[in-house]
Structures are given as structure tokens and as C-alpha cells.
């Protein structure tokens, strides 16, 4: 068990220009953020600027037998954090990312296993973030997350993620 206020060790960066192994990253994430082990994440995948998870509903059930809103909101926030963290890691940067603002709109009940996807709100968002990091050493990016249960869009979320200046 970790002590409160003590950061978890960072995962070593992938080889120059390389990608993180999704299984290794999720295993590290489960150690760094213990709640992750309870979220039912089955698989992580990247397609271009889109990061997605496949999730099991069972660990996220509410009293009505559908998806618990608090759990789903946590998942959208965490997936955005993962998107920003992995984006930085592909560029050889080990930096702290925090969520600055997040909103969710619940559109339909989640009634089965589901997928969650995250992508930049604006197509030019990653380029703007890269420029801001080069210029100021820190920056922000707006990301959107969508939760799909089959063909049904059940949740739309948006978050602003801040990349903090390098630790001294």
C-alpha cells in the first residue's frame, strides 16, 4: 500500500518513437491508481488519434441494474488522462497530466458491456498542444469521450486536460 502524498513511480518511456504496450500500460495504471483494477477494463486500443477501452458492465452496476453514473464519469475522466499521458509518452515526454475541467451528459442507460472512446475535440488540438509545450513548457487540450453500448450512444463527456511544466 502506498502512502498518501507519495507519487507512484512513472512507467519508463517507450523506445524513441515507440508506442506503449497496452497491457503493460494498463497493468502499471492499476498499480498507480488502485481504483482502475475495479473498473472492468478488458482491452485498450489506439486507432490514429482515437483511444478506446472495452469494458464490462458488471463491476459498474448501479441499484437499477444499469451503469452507475459515478463509475462511468470516472472512466471518461480517466480515459482522457490516459489519452494525454500516452500522447506525451509517444513524444518521449514524461510529464504530469491533470484534469482541469470535466462534464458529462448521460443520454441513455448502459445495459450491457460497452466501449468508451476518447479523441481530441478539435482536429488541430494535438498540434496546438505541441506548440504550446514547445513555447511555454505546459499546455492544455480539450478531449471528448463517448460511451457506446452496442449502437446506442449512452454518454458524451468533455474534459480539459492540463500538461504541467516539467518537475524540477
CB-facing half-sphere around the CA of 62: CA atoms within 13 A: 11
Number of domains comprising the chain: 1
For 109-126, the pLDDT digits (tens) are: 999 999 999 999 999 999
Mean pLDDT, the chain, rounded, equals 95
Q: How confident is the model at residue 3 (pLDDT cuts 50, 70, 90)?
A: confident
**What is the tens place of the pLDDT at every residue in 50-73?**
999 999 999 999 999 999 999 999
pLDDT of residue 167: 77
Residue 12 resides in a domain? no
Q: Look up the CATH number of the domain holding residue 47.
A: 3.10.129.10
Taking the chain, what is the end-to-end CA distance rounded to the nearest angstrom? Answer: 26
Which 3 state secondary structure label does DSSP give 83? helix
Q: Does residue 8 belong to any structural domain of this protein?
A: no
Residue whose cell numbers read 459515478? 70
For residue 5, tell me if it sits in a domain.
no
Q: What is the pLDDT of residues 81-106, one digit of tens each?
A: 999 999 999 999 999 999 999 999 99
pLDDT at 72: 98
Q: Is residue 132 part of a domain?
A: yes
Nearest-angstrom CA–CA distance, 110 and 119: 21
Residue 78 has pLDDT above 80, yes or no: yes
Instruction: Answer yes or no: is 15 within a domain.
Output: no
Range of the domain at 92: 22-163
Confidence band for 150, pLDDT divided at 50, 70 and 90:
very high
Q: Is residue 11 part of a domain?
A: no
Residue 88 contacts by C-beta under 8 Å, 6 or more apart in sequence? 94, 95, 97, 163
Structural domain includes residue 4: no
Establish if 85 belongs to a structural domain: yes
Amino acid at each position: 500500500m502506498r502512502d498518501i502524498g507519495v507519487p507512484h513511480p512513472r512507467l519508463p518511456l517507450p523506445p524513441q518513437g515507440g508506442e506503449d504496450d497496452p497491457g503493460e500500460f494498463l497493468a502499471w495504471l492499476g498499480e498507480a491508481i488502485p481504483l482502475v483494477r475495479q473498473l472492468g477494463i478488458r482491452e485498450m486500443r489506439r486507432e490514429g488519434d482515437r483511444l478506446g477501452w472495452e469494458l464490462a458492465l458488471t463491476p459498474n452496476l448501479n441499484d437499477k441494474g444499469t451503469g452507475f453514473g459515478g463509475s462511468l464519469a470516472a472512466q471518461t475522466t480517466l480515459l482522457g488522462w490516459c489519452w494525454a499521458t500516452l500522447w506525451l509518452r509517444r513524444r518521449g515526454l514524461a510529464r504530469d497530466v491533470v484534469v482541469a475541467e470535466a462534464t458529462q451528459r448521460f443520454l441513455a442507460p448502459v445495459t450491457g458491456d460497452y466501449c468508451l472512446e476518447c479523441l481530441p475535440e478539435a482536429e488541430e488540438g494535438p498540434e496546438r498542444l505541441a506548440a504550446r509545450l514547445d513555447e511555454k513548457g505546459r499546455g492544455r487540450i480539450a478531449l471528448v469521450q463517448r460511451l457506446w453500448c452496442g449502437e446506442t450512444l449512452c454518454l458524451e463527456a468533455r474534459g480539459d486536460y492540463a500538461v504541467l511544466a516539467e518537475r524540477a
